[in-house]
Structure 1
Amino acid sequence: MTKLFLAAALLLFVFTPFARAKSNRSSFGSDITVVEGESADNIACAFCSVHIQGDAQGNVAVLFGSVTVAPTHNISGNVAIFGGDLNLNDEAVVGGNVAIMAGNANLASTATIHGARTVLPGRLWLLLPFTPLFIFIGIIWLIVYLVCRNRYQFPVYPNGRGF
């Protein structure tokens, strides 16, 4: 009985990772393309773009890139984009929420977003993550300016010189 239990446990531990394996995709610097007839779960991309010509079953997150969905295809989850655009072609569907910061949502007339849509257009939002760094650099510049200002000795001109 114990040998049978150990064999079943071994099979369970060996084949469980393959049964749970999902087609999550992630990339840094190179574009991700989900081709026709293919399905992907969650997609994460930094400094690249996502082209969906198949279906995305999970969420899509893009940093400094854009998301393009081909006609009649969909994204089942949420879409989050920082520094890029969302392009939905005819009859493309986003099943969840859409959040775009420093970009635009370009929707065809028959494209649909089922969840909430939050778009903060304008590229000035790209400076927001760097605000603490700018403040830190400004404080250092102020300290260096105040220290150097007091160290410089201005020349003394003698009195009585004049016209």
Structure 2
Amino acid sequence: MPNFALRSLVFTLLFVSTALAQAPGNRAYVGEDVYVASGQQVRNAMCIFCSVQVEGDVTGRVIVLFGSLNVTGQVAKGATVIGGNAVVDSQARIGGDTTVLGGNAVYESDESFGGSAYVLGGHLSHVPLAHGQVSAHPRVSLSPLFSVLLGVLVLLLLSALFVPQVRRRIAVNQNS
């Protein structure tokens, strides 16, 4: 069963990336880095088992699975990184929410994010440029320890649901 699930996941990821790559203006690759040069404009960027470097403009979203995101340009709608790190330069701008699962995020300026920033399973690090900056949107980081504890709790709950209860049978003496 786990082998079938892994094959299904890989097939789904390849199918989605192929479908996204067919639309004009999109860049979707598996195992090959995506680079948006300064002055270039791309609609969406998706990368599986590779990294995305944005120096130009992405008018849609950036999705990175098992790679890293490095932004020095503009991303209009938002960014999602699963199994990797995100680095956002002080002059960069991500217009929507930024989510990092299983990695770290580093940003220099609160103006870099137009929306919220969420990190689960890693650290959200702010490198301040000036003192007294106040964040307009939530910045949430849940450490790896919290993620491990949450995973253990989920496993315990699932085992309580699916493992049959062992009941002791009371032996009744029928010779009375």
Which residue of structure 2 lines up, in the alignment, with residue 109 of structure 1? 128
Structure with greater proportional helix content: 1
Q: How many residues align?
A: 129
| Structure 1 position 45, deviation (Å) | 1.0
Q: List aligned pairs for 1:130-141, cutoff 5 A.
A: none
Q: List aligned pairs for 1:59-138, cutoff 5 A.
A: 59-89=78-108, 93-110=112-129, 113-126=135-148, 128=150
1:49-78 CA-to-partner distances (Å, cap 9, x unmatched) read 100011111111111111101221111110
Larger Rg: 1
Moved >2 Å (runs of 4+):
89-92, 110-114, 126-143
| Structure 1 position 87, deviation (Å) | 0.6
Question: Residue 60 of structure 1 contacts residue 78 of structure 1 at CA under 8 Å; is this kept in 2?
Answer: yes
Question: Residue 89 of structure 2 contacts residue 112 of structure 2 at CA under 8 Å; is this kept in 1?
Answer: no
Alpha-carbon distance between aligned partners in 1 of 2:160 and 2:81, rounded to the nearest angstrom: 31
Alpha-carbon distance between aligned partners in 1 of 2:122 and 2:95, rounded to the nearest angstrom: 21
Alignment TM-score, normalising by the size of structure 1? 0.61
Pairing 1:45–2:64 present: yes
| Structure 1 position 96, deviation (Å) | 0.3
Alpha-carbon distance between aligned partners in 1 of 2:24 and 2:88, rounded to the nearest angstrom: 29
| Structure 1 position 126, deviation (Å) | 4.9
Alignment TM-score, normalising by the size of structure 2? 0.57
| Structure 1 position 129, deviation (Å) | 5.6
Alpha-carbon distance between aligned partners in 2 of 1:53 and 1:122, rounded to the nearest angstrom: 27
Alpha-carbon distance between aligned partners in 2 of 1:132 and 1:88, rounded to the nearest angstrom: 31
What CA RMSD, in Å, does the superposition of the two structures yield over aligned residues? 3.4
Alpha-carbon distance between aligned partners in 2 of 1:46 and 1:55, rounded to the nearest angstrom: 20
Percent identity of equivalent pairs? 18
Distance 1:18 1:28, change over 3 A: closer
Alpha-carbon distance between aligned partners in 2 of 1:117 and 1:131, rounded to the nearest angstrom: 25
- SS of 1:103's equivalent in the other structure is coil
| Structure 1 position 110, deviation (Å) | 3.1
| Structure 1 position 104, deviation (Å) | 1.1
